[in-house]
Amino acid sequence: MKLSDNGILRCGEMMAYYDISECYILRPNAMKIWNIMRTYFDAVLEKAEVDENYFPLFVSASVLEKEKDHVQGCMGYKSCKWIKSHRDLPLELNQWNNVVRWESREFLWQEGHTAHATEEEADKEVLEVLDHYRHLYEEYLVVPVVKGMKSENEKFAGARYTTSVEKAFVLAHEIMTHGDDKGLVNPPKVAPIQVIVIPVPFKDADTKEISKACSAVKDALREAGIRAKEDLSDNYSPKWKYSHWEIKGVPLRIEIGPRDLAKKQVRTVRRDNGVKADVPRVGLVEHVKELLGKIQQNMFDVAKQKRDDACVVVKTWDEFVEALGQKKLILAPWSDEEEVEMDVKRRTKDEVGAAKTLCSPFDQPEIPEGTLCFASGKLAKKWTYWGKSY
């Protein structure tokens, strides 16, 4: 059975459809992942001494008219009134929005607003926060990203410039990057349940002692800060339970049967690659911590390889069109001209689907002298990532 991305989300009990188009119910597993991410970011903001506030989602018609040229940008007209002199700077604010409506879709959102005495301080703040986003994607969601600058056409409305972290995979970046035909594959750092402990009783086995061992293992793991759960339900077979928790994306399964009980060991099964191992009960907690770290790293390495395989470097228009048709992430030399970008979008719209710039990476590869823009034939000024516009 091959699951679609939406199928994985539903089977993993992450979301459910709502009776309004483009609106979804975020179930407890999705909210747990969101809250783990929020806890990480709250700690970052607390360390940086950023204050939290909340602005209403509703905006008056008069303000909309006043801000019509960049209504999608921040509503800084209120916070600016709080600044009376340079002594009130820097002003650094954070807001968690429960629901934001964007082009008919609803989603959870975090946004920051800051004001600084100099442009240099503001630029420094932008790059520091951008790296926190990168850390969250790569170290928690294990989704590799590229930090870079948006083009003039793609920058945020009303902004002087816009930076971004770009993914090669078009909640669902984590799901679409790591999910497989069995269901979700959650990275340990954000997994609502990191370890599931399952008894595997054979015929005539001492089920009471096996269950007791499962509970003891679960308790030891939880005491060590590991999000562990036991499944002692007796109305399903062990194989059914394996499949059930695989769909949910639990990173590690621990099985305990009669032989394990006799040998004072457990069997571990990794969700990311299916590798099984027999592990002594003594020192199990430390072993599980180490194993979860290995799973996290392996998932990032696999995702990075997928990203690298999906990325191609092109230098000509024909190569660009071919790669775009294959839904590749494209790195191409560009003249950095708005009219050229718009022309690329126009020329590709009917042929293979409109293309747009994603970002110009901060880490720029060398541009040999005389390198030409793939689209205009003029001298290239930078390397830029391109992809399909969805």
Q: What string of DSSP letters covers 18-34?
A: -SSTT-EEE-HHHHHHH
Read off the tokens for 167. 């993914």
CA gap 96, 131 in Å, rounded: 19
* pLDDT value at residue 6: 57
Say yes or no: do domains 5-178 and 195-305 share a fold.
Answer: no
How does pLDDT run across 315-358, given as a tens digit for each residue? 999 999 999 999 899 999 999 999 999 999 999 998 788 999 99
CA gap 72, 378 in Å, rounded: 34
CA gap 338, 316 in Å, rounded: 19
* pLDDT value at residue 54: 87
Read off the tokens for 359. 């970002």
Name which of 9-13, 195-199, 285-289, 300-304 the model is least confident about.
9-13
Of 301, 298, 243, which is closest to residue 275 (Cα–Cα)?
298
**What is the architecture, at CATH level 2, of domain 314-388?**
2-Layer Sandwich (3.30)
* pLDDT value at residue 7: 56
Buried b (16+ CB within 10 A) or exposed e, 324-340: beeebbbbbbbbbbeeb
Q: CATH fold of 5-178, please? A: BirA Bifunctional Protein; domain 2 (3.30.930)
Phi and psi at 18, nearest 5°, equal -115, 165
CA gap 15, 9 in Å, rounded: 6
CATH number for 195-305: choose from 3.40.50.1820, 3.40.50.800, 3.40.50.970, 3.90.1570.30: 3.40.50.800
Q: Is the pLDDT of residue 213 over 90?
A: yes
Read off the tokens for 128. 């520091």
The larger pLDDT score, comparing residue 350 to residue 51, is at 51
Residues 6+ apart with CB under 8 A from 36: 140, 189, 190, 192
Name which of 150-154, 155-159, 247-251, 254-258 the model is least confident about.
155-159
Distance of CA 379 to the CA centre of its chain: 36
Read off the tokens for 313. 């470097």
Distance of CA 55 to the CA centre of its chain: 25
Read off the tokens for 163. 């930076």
Of 285, 355, 384, 33, which is closest to residue 174 (Cα–Cα)?
33
In the chain, domain spans: 5-178, 195-305, 314-388
Read off the tokens for 318. 């024909």
The β-bridge relationship of strands 51-52 and 91-102 is: parallel
Amino acid of residue 273? N
